Amino acid sequence: MISSFLIALREGAEAALVVGIVLVYLDRTGRSRLARFAWAGVALAAALSLAAAIALERWQISEDGFEGLLMLLAAVFVVTMILWMNRVARHLRKEIEQRVESFAQKTDLAAGLGLGTFVFLMVLREGAELALILRAVELSTEGVAVWIGTGLGLALAIAVGFFFFEGTLKIPLGRFFAVTSAILVIVAVQLALTGFHELSEAMWIPSGKREMAIVGPIVRNEFFFFVVILGAAALLILREWRSMSLAAAPEAANDADRRRIRWERRTQSRWMFTAAALFVIVILTLTADFVYARVSAAPPQAQTVTAENGAVRIATARVNDGNLHFFQVETNNTSLRFVVIRKPDGNWATALDSCMICGWAGYRQSGSNVICRNCASAIYVPSIGQAGGCNPVSVPSHLDGSELVIDVSVLTDAARRVPQ
């Protein structure tokens, strides 16, 4: 939720800034009659942005590779958004006012159409970016949380824009964009890492068990990035507060006393900032340890079954609850773990407790999700039994009355293909 809140706040604030500059300039130059065209551009851009968001929401991407590409594209958009604002921020007001002036010198209709088109394109740029980035964020977090964060971010952005241009809110926009830019870099890193993780899971790029074990648990855990973003925000706000407090000239009788007071304040601020940074590092370390500990926990207990006539038989009544069930069978002095689950469509899936990327790390169940214990990938339950990605290595089975039958030779052949 925090990622969607920050992205919506930043994109919304940029759009509000553009619209606010246009409206203030029109009012100041006695051209308020043209404001309706600007609002028409805003309304049309907002409608198209909402339509794009709905279209992306209904475009249910289920392939890991395409999800990875979407996340990488979203990370690029976040970075370009930051670079664009940092590049044009100093001259943004002047450039917009010059553009508005050039439109306003025409007839009312031509001026209105030109002005409305300009505002439409500027707001649509922010809205389209927001829709695409949020769709990528939604792939790695809860959808409801994304929409709540987006709503809060946009509401705050509109309020900031309104009160800022009304003159009732005094905030340094330069500092605001500097702080949000630094935090959004973390969001971009998260999206990029998750994108590469998805591409690795789809086996579109080469990766191994070790790389997936390092990156997977972090990118798959929103709690870790929540702590990172919260810590970064605290440090940045503390830094801004320190710079503002040091900028104020201390009252003293002479220059020597003022220099001494300034030096003491600077020293205290450095110690305070260092202590805060160490505190954040400790919190991040503990959070990372917690995340990896969840992944590396002991594997779920497997029930031992015995092969009869070269096959394992499991009563379907024992495994028809839709949960993941773990079994192990002894063959050739080797213990093989496998899983059985009844999928939502009623079909049965049987597979080794392993995959072709992470080897025999195995899986665990978290609520209705099946999670890889090595890279923390969430396995789409209907896809269990299919090849590819971090899905369990499928083994065929068949029903014999009320029993599910798996040939031990099939388990053994499949196990030979699993990397150690």
Residue 314 has what pLDDT? Answer: 92
Tokens for 226, please give them.
């929540």
Residue 384 pairs with which residues in a beta bridge?
A: 386
Following DSSP, what letter does each residue of 67-116 receive, concatenated?
HHHHHHHHHHHHHHHHHHHHHHGGGHHHHHHHHHHHHHTS-HHHHHHHHH
Residue 52 has what pLDDT? Answer: 82
Instruction: Report how many helices (DSSP H) and strands (DSSP E) the chain contains, helices first.
Output: 11, 10
Residue 289 has what pLDDT? Answer: 62
What distance in Å separates the CA atoms of residue 308 and residue 415, rounded to the nearest whole number? 19
Is residue 341 within 8 A of residue 385, CB to CB? The reply is no
| Domains of the chain from N-terminus onward | 2-220 (no CATH), 303-416 (2.102.10.10)
A 10 A CB-CB count for 156 gives 15
At 335 the three-state DSSP class reads strand
Closest CA to 78 of 34, 20, 136, 26: 136
Residue 407 has what pLDDT? Answer: 93
What distance in Å separates the CA atoms of residue 371 and residue 364, rounded to the nearest whole number? 5
* CA 311, 316, 320, 325 torsion-angle sign: negative
Residue 147 has what pLDDT? Answer: 75
Report how far apart the first and last C-alpha atoms of the chain are (Å, whole number): 38
Residue 398 pairs with which residues in a beta bridge?
A: 405
A 10 A CB-CB count for 264 gives 11
Residue 170 has what pLDDT? Answer: 61
pLDDT mean for each 10 residues of the chain (420 residues): 76 84 84 87 90 75 70 84 75 81 80 86 84 72 70 83 68 70 80 81 74 74 69 70 58 66 68 65 66 64 89 91 91 88 89 87 82 80 77 90 91 85
Exposure string of 233-249, with b = 16+ CB inside 10 Å and e = fewer, is bebbeebeebeeeeeee
Q: Side by side, which strands form the sheet with 403-407?
A: 311-315, 403-407, 398-400
